[in-house]
Amino acid sequence: MKEFLKKVSGVCKQIFGIGIAVSLFMGALVFLGYVVALAIGGDIAAAICVFLYKKIVPIMIYISTTMVLLGLVAMYLAGELALTANKKKAAKSEGER
């Protein structure tokens, strides 16, 4: 069962990586769109900004939120508990004793 969960986690991590890359690419395109709109100015710039905000940004938010959730599921399926408090204390070095 543990081996199966590791395989599922691996697939989830690959999907997570691709999804986050797509989300970052979309964010870069939105940034460039706003820079172009700033350079153009006027009513066309306003139309570009409204289009980006109404059509592209919501899709980007949904993708990134879903991918973060998938990444967390993949972490827990693999047994990686990175978001828990670590109660173990680090061993003191010779100089600290």
pLDDT tens-digit readout, 19-38: 999 999 999 999 999 999 99
Tell me how far apart the alpha carbons of residues 73 and 2 are, in angstroms, rounded to a whole number: 15
Domain boundaries, the chain: 2-78
The confidence score (pLDDT) of residue 43 equals 93
| pTM of the shown model | 0.70
> Using an 8 Å Cβ cutoff, are 78 and 6 in contact?
yes
Q: Which residues contact 12 (CB under 8 A, 6 or more apart)?
A: 70, 71, 73, 74, 77
pLDDT tens-digit readout, 48-61: 999 999 999 999 99
The confidence score (pLDDT) of residue 76 equals 84
Lowest mean pLDDT among 41-45, 62-66, 91-95: 91-95
